[in-house]
Structure 1
Amino acid sequence: MSEEWRVLIADDEPWIREGIRDAVSWERYRMEVAAEAENGEEAFELALKHSIDLLIVDLNMPIVNGLTLMKKLRQALPLCRFVIVTGYDQFSYAQEAIRLQVDDYLLKPVEPGQLDQVLRNISSSLAAEKKKQRDQLHIQKNLSLLKEHVFQHWVRGQIREEEVCAQLESLRLPPRIPDMLGVVSTGNVSIEPDHVKQQAERFFKEEPEAAVVFGDGHLVGVCLWRVMTEKEQRAFEEMMKGGLHAGVSSCFINLAEMEQTVPEAYQFCREKAARSFNGSPVVARAKEYMQKHFAERDFSLMQTADALQVSAVYLSRMMKRELGMTFVQLLTEMRMQKAVHLLKTTSLPIHDIAEQTGYDTQHYFSTIFKKTIGVTPNQYRRMSGIEQTGRKL
């Protein structure tokens, strides 16, 4: 699909704006005039609203002049192109704008032929820049996939160490054994592995040349070409728990201090992370009990604690520590999973679904559903393509 560049014309004289707008066939250059403005303040707001690609601006405008407007937009929309419209008496003033990387300037009255040439050049330049961005994204995507492939095979012992080291430089990584290796586990197979991987990547997003995050089933591996402090490791776990709303276990080891190969160290981390998710029997029993009773209207932490013969305070603390969420958060998650299933697979009225997921009223259920899922139950049902038949919602 071809790009269409959005243009804003900013001039306090209506006849100038009209003349520029009608002077050329914008479609020829894959452009459209998205908005017009008669002062700099209005132009700035419209530029942000439409995320413009090109500003054609008069320097002499009320409230905010053209030069100030361009300075503000250079910060807010760094890729935006500028073309100045100016009179002969303002030419020296226009030269000051060259420092803002102005593409060109037009002398009033604007001649269609000159405007044509300017737009042709800018359109070609924008297209080339967009292609460059797409190519870079394509390269980055392929690079990420290649890293994933290489490191999955490495930690499983399916590729020799010297072969990996020979490839590291081409993967834009230091050509040596990583300083640290780690494994992250949520202990919850219902969480999508890609979601766990993406969350881990956010922590290391500023270190593309010093960190690799790769998936391995329901585990996520991390290789680092630097030493990760204990404080950083704790911060990493907390960020993962907060982002996933689940308990997280991670194990990082310093490869320089371990007399193990990378596959051996990875297996060690895997086992240690998995062992920490055997968890306490009380939390496992609590989850099992909740799965059986979460649809009951008056279901509570106290009821669960009494059934397990422990104190509510103790159970709450253990769940928070091991699962990374409170009893109420887990209860809501279970109810919402059931609600989503019913909305997607049945045409039951919303009030029936509310009852079957433990809520007293349809209104309260809908409020919690929207807060958790982001849309109302009816909106979710429409998005899922399930229409109710025979009864009004």
Structure 2
Amino acid sequence: MRKVIIVDDNHLSVEGIYKNIDWKSLNSEVAYMFYDSQSVIDAVKSANIDLIISDIEMPIISGLEMSKQILKFNPNIKIILISAFDKFEYAREAIRVGVYDYIEKPIDYNYLSTIINNAFVQLEKEKRNRKILNESRPLMISKFFSELIHLNTDEAKYNLSKYPDYLNIDLNSKYFLTLNFKITNSKTLKNDLGIEKYHISLIDLGDHIKSAFSKFQLYHLLIERDDIITIIGGNYPNGNYLLNKVHDILNSFMEHYKSDIFELNIGIGSVIDSFWNMKISYDNSCKALEYNFFFPQKNIFDIHDIVRKNNVNNSVYLYAKEDKLIQLIYKKDLNSIKNWIQDFYEEILINCNNKYLIFNNIYSILSNVLKLLYNMSINTNDIENIIVNTYSNLSTICNSSEIINWLFDIFKIICNRLDESIKNQHEYLCNNVITYIQDNYSKKDLSLNEIALYVNVSPAYLSALFKKQIGENISAIITNIRIENACKLLENTNLSLKEISEKVGYVNQYYFSSCFKKKMNKNPSIYRQGI
């Protein structure tokens, strides 16, 4: 039976509502009748109340203020406010506060009875919907984490920041990490086992993973296609502590989890110190798995081992010959690269008596070159596919010239890819310069040094690169943009020449007029008259 509170500082109004509503037919009862708001606030904190019928105008605490406090404490309670004042602002404020409905005095008890019944119907709907929502909570949590690992930081914060409290997700860890368990034989298993048995086995594998990692402060497991993604977090002295702990658990897991079904590779993403950066860790766990080709003897791939945060120009390579190769690739000196391959091949022939050992040495070189490209954010998927296809068909390679030509073709692709990347970087830098000038042309002291500082290169380098890329000096671009904007002001405003010269960044109008005439072949006054 529904519990109701009636409150009004007028005793007769309370009695009138109590006596003129058929509470039994509404499957309800009046639990309390009060004459002040504070008594209602105290009552709802200790009793299960479904509906409050309240006067809006009461001393000390008004019905509106009482509603605000109660709905903050229990947003599921329905409140009907009553007032003798025919003022729209009361109704508008009541709706804004979140009360169920609003009626005016004198009270039409039949109408009030209808409103009460509607409130109870709404309560039943909301109760049913809350039940459905609570039952779907596990799916909501999985959807939350799935979106988290696929959205960048700003998108994740904007779209998901209100959910952790509602879903009881603990974000108080200092460090976070994403693991990616990839089923490498999934296609074969789906054919052999059938889809249903495959997924049942996948769930069983997930249970084993959960058992290994569920003691972390934050833990969640997602199954996405043929990947089991594990998100963990904890309060540790530093990120390396978390990483070492993960390695210990993974090594133990791979040692003790014996499966006649699944072949597993595990990618370890980067340690992050912000929950909302989870996409970075996830993306790196996927990237780590791509290095399975270069380390086929391994099952666990840690992005921290593969990607070193050294500047590319300062990278340290294991062999002097590799240093030489990298220099030739930077120079895109194809003839010297071909000679390098020939020398390298002749050297490894001395120590290797079969082509499989030769290819082991070659893939060690390729591994470091691809790491270089990866550190430069250059996509290497097509190159990796060429390498994988060749290694899968070593038996078809019959002589040394085929190996030399194959390796040369790969390095030629790498040189082209590096050249494209450098061109893109140069184009991006020059576009940044032009955008900065467009945003700051009105500054009288805008200079090459300031722009170079903004794009983080030396003034001399920027000046030479910009001239080569754009075909004009930076000073000419500044002038062009200033004169272009001056033309707009001359065409569309009545500003004086002095005002216009100041707005487009010139120290005085005479120098402005001189620059304008040089660019437009007429002085500003003549230009304005000719419009």
TM-score category of the 2 structures, normalised to the smaller one: 0.3 to 0.5
Greater fraction helix: 2
TM-score, normalised by the number of residues in structure 2: 0.31
Specify the structure having the higher radius of gyration (Cα): 2
Greater RCO, CA 8 A, separation 6+: 1
